[in-house]
Amino acid sequence: MTNKLKNDLYLRALLRENTERTPAWMMRQAGRYLPEYRELRAKAGDFMSLCKNPELACEVTLQPLRRYPLDAAILFSDILTIPDALGLGLYFAAGEGPHFERPINSLSDVEKLGILDPNQSLKYVMDAVTKIRTELKGEVPLIGFSGSPWTLATYMVEGKSSKQFTKIKSMLYSDPQTLHSLLKNLAQNVANYLNAQIEAGAQSVMIFDTWGGILGHREYKEFSLAYMAEIISNLHREYNGVRVPVTVFTKGGGVWLEDIAQSGTDAIGVDWTVDLGVARKLVGDKVAIQGNVDPSILYGTKESIEKNVQLAVEDYSLGRDLHDAEFNRGHVFNLGHGIHQDVPVENPAIMLEALRKYTERK
C-alpha cells in the first residue's frame, strides 16, 4: 500500500494548495444509480450484506472510477455502522429505510452502549478500507467517513428515519443531559472509528451531519457542531508523515459556515442552497469548500449541465481569471448531496468533462 499518489488534486485542494484544475468527486458516487451496482447488490442479497463483505464493498467503491474521471474514491459503507455495532439491532424494511429494534429511550439505554474497538466490532470496514487502498494502486486518494454524533443520534432515538424528529427533539428540550450523554459516547466512538479508518488506509475523512440543519441556531452549535469539533480535535491529522484532511458537511448548514470554519476542519461541504461565492467570502482562507451543485442538474440536457458547471466555477472564482492562482484554490467540485438513483448514467461524465474544460490550465 503506497503513499505515493498519481493524482493528489483532491487532497491538495482540501489543504488549499494550488491545483492545475478543480478536482471532483460525487456524493454517493458508489451506489444505486449504476446498473453494475444494482446487479452486485442483487447477488449480495441485501444492502448490509454488501457493506459487510470487504471484497464486495471494494468492488462497489471502484465501480464509478471505471466509468468517470473522478479525483477521489469514497469508501462504500453506511453511516449507521456504529449504531449497528453498538447492538441496536439495525435492519432495513423494504421501502422504508433503516430501523432499529432497540432504540434509545433513556439514560440507562445510553449507559449500556459502551465504547467500541472498531478494529474488532467494525473489522469488516477496516478490511474494506485496506483492500480498496491496495486495489486503487495510488491512482486517487481514498475518503473514509462517518455520520456525525447528532445525525447518528437521530436514528438511534427515533428508531428509524424521520420527518418530524419528534422523539429526539423531545429529548433535547426535556432531557438534554441524556442526549448529551449519548452524543458524548458517539463523539468518542466516531473519533475512534475514523482514526481506525485512517490507520487502515483512508487518506482523508469526512463527517456527514445529514440532519444538523433541522436544529435551531443555538441548538446546532451545542448539540451538533460542538461534538464534531471534539471529534476533529481527536483525529489523526497526520499519519505516516502525511497530512490527513477532514471535511465537515452539514446539510442545511449554510447559515453556520463561519462557525464550522472555526471547528478545526480543513474543508466545509455545502448543499445547493449555498452560493459558493458568498461562502468563499465568509470563510476567507480558513478552509476549503466542497459541493453546492444541485444533484438534479444531472436530469438536464448536455447544455444545461455544462452551463450549471460553468456557473458553479464562476461563482467560486469571484471573477478571477483562470490563470490567477486564487481562481480555484480550495475548491472541490461536488454535488450538494447524494446523486439521485435514476439519473442517466452518461450525465455525470458530461458534468465532469465540463469541469475540466472550464478549470484546466493548459
User: Quick one: pLDDT at residue 6?
Assistant: 96
Assigned domain for 111 exists:
yes
The reply to whether 210 sits in an annotated binding site is: yes
Assigned domain for 114 exists:
yes
**What is the chain's length?**
362
User: Quick one: pLDDT at residue 161?
Assistant: 86
Assigned domain for 3 exists:
no
Q: Catalytic pick from 37, 68, 155, 316?
A: 155
Q: Catalytic pick from 41, 67, 243, 320?
A: 41
78 tagged catalytic: yes
Give, for all 362 residues of the chain, the pLDDT tens digit: 667 899 999 999 999 999 999 999 999 999 999 999 999 999 998 888 999 999 999 999 999 999 999 999 999 999 999 999 999 999 887 777 899 999 999 999 999 999 999 999 999 999 999 999 999 999 999 999 999 999 999 999 999 988 899 999 999 999 999 999 999 999 999 999 999 999 999 999 999 999 999 999 999 999 999 999 999 999 999 999 999 999 999 999 999 999 999 999 999 999 999 999 999 999 999 999 999 999 999 999 999 999 999 999 999 999 999 999 999 999 999 999 999 999 999 999 999 999 999 999 97
Could you tell me where the beta strands, DSSP code E, fall in 254-357?
267-270, 288-291, 331-332
Amino acid at 280: R
Rounded distance between C-alpha atoms, residue 297 and residue 275, angstroms: 16
32 tagged catalytic: yes
Residue range(s) defining the domain that contains residue 272: 8-358
Number of domain units in the chain: 1
Q: Catalytic pick from 8, 78, 84, 266?
A: 78
68 tagged catalytic: no
pTM: 0.97
> Any residues with CB less than 8 A from the CB of 291 and at least 6 apart, and which?
27, 249, 269, 270, 271, 272, 274, 332, 334, 335, 336
In sequence order, the β-bridge partners of residue 24 are 333
> Any residues with CB less than 8 A from the CB of 251 and at least 6 apart, and which?
209, 210, 211, 212, 213, 271, 337
User: Quick one: pLDDT at residue 97?
Assistant: 84
41 tagged catalytic: yes
- Cell 487518506 sits at which residue? 203
Assigned domain for 342 exists:
yes
Neighbours of 177 (CB within 10 A): 10
> Any residues with CB less than 8 A from the CB of 76 and at least 6 apart, and which?
30, 31, 50, 51, 57, 58, 60, 61, 128
User: Quick one: pLDDT at residue 1?
Assistant: 67
CATH number of the domain to which 154 belongs: 3.20.20.210
Rounded distance between C-alpha atoms, residue 48 and residue 41, angstroms: 10
Assigned domain for 304 exists:
yes
The reply to whether 320 sits in an annotated binding site is: no
280 tagged catalytic: no
